[in-house]
Structure 1
């Protein structure tokens, strides 16, 4: 149960699924399809969908690479949060958007597993949110030439350690896209 009082709602958070971010990502098409399925289900169930777009020196706002992938389209009225740091909460209006809608639980999807997804998951958890990481709806690029494990191993390790994350009054879990429930268990 979230430690954020009076915030029983859930939101689907779609982080950095931008053309330039996922162009060479591991299992890109499957991950994007899983996210699209979750977006459709969230909308059908009345669960808010919140989009995040990263920008920095290599990912300029309004460039083609900065755009959300063609397979995903934010609906009118769905918030789009612009960020410059890995943690989607840092120096953004994300917290205010979630608080306004009484959201205390996040279903987390997107890219990059070992950067913005990890940072956002931990950022949300330390701020009191329950966090469900969708194990087959996040991805990363291959950074093995820099000494990182292969992308599939990064994803598997992130899913493993997140499934054991604990803190007082909060829940962390990993679920497949097919098994995500937007309404928390009672």
Structure 2
């Protein structure tokens, strides 16, 4: 269990599922559907859902590209964390949002696999959280034209493989599919 004291609960993180971020994402519709089913399960199981939304000079807050995809919408009582860096914890209130809910484990979904998802996974582990990556509920776009030497499928597969072995003293990373992931830890 996480190295954070008195944090027995899990939370579902939905990272950057914004129109401009996932417009050209690999397997977009399936990933959105998987995240949608996880959000519904979390709500049914009384597991907190925390939404993360990125903005920067290329993704202006309030623009159409900045908006969450219409297939996914936060509930009225679900926090929305705005961020400006890849790691969803960096200079945000995510840690206090999770602490308020006694969360010591995050279940991570969203975009982009090789940027904000990966940075948030590492950020969680470093800060004392256990972090589960949902293997079929994260995505990225094809970045080979910018020098990334592998396809989106390979980026996703590599991230799933290495995260399944992630660990640090008193905490761990793991992966599970949408169908197999447990959202509750308490």
TM-score of the superposition, structure 2-length normalised? 0.98
Q: Deviations over 1:7-56 (max 9, x none)?
A: 00100000000000000000000000000000000000000000000001
Aligned to 2:94: 94
Aligned residue for 2:52, secondary structure, equals strand
Q: Deviations over 1:119-156 (max 9, x none)?
A: 00000000000000000000001101122111000000
Matched, 1:45 2:38: no
What is the distance in 2 between the residues matched to 1:77 and 1:173?
28
Structure 2 portions without partners, runs of 5+: none
Aligned to 2:144: 144
Aligned residue for 1:128, secondary structure, equals coil
Alignment RMSD (CA, Å):
0.8
Q: Which runs of 4+ in 1 moved over 2 A?
A: none
Give the number of aligned pairs: 185
Stretch moving more, 146-155 or 124-133:
146-155
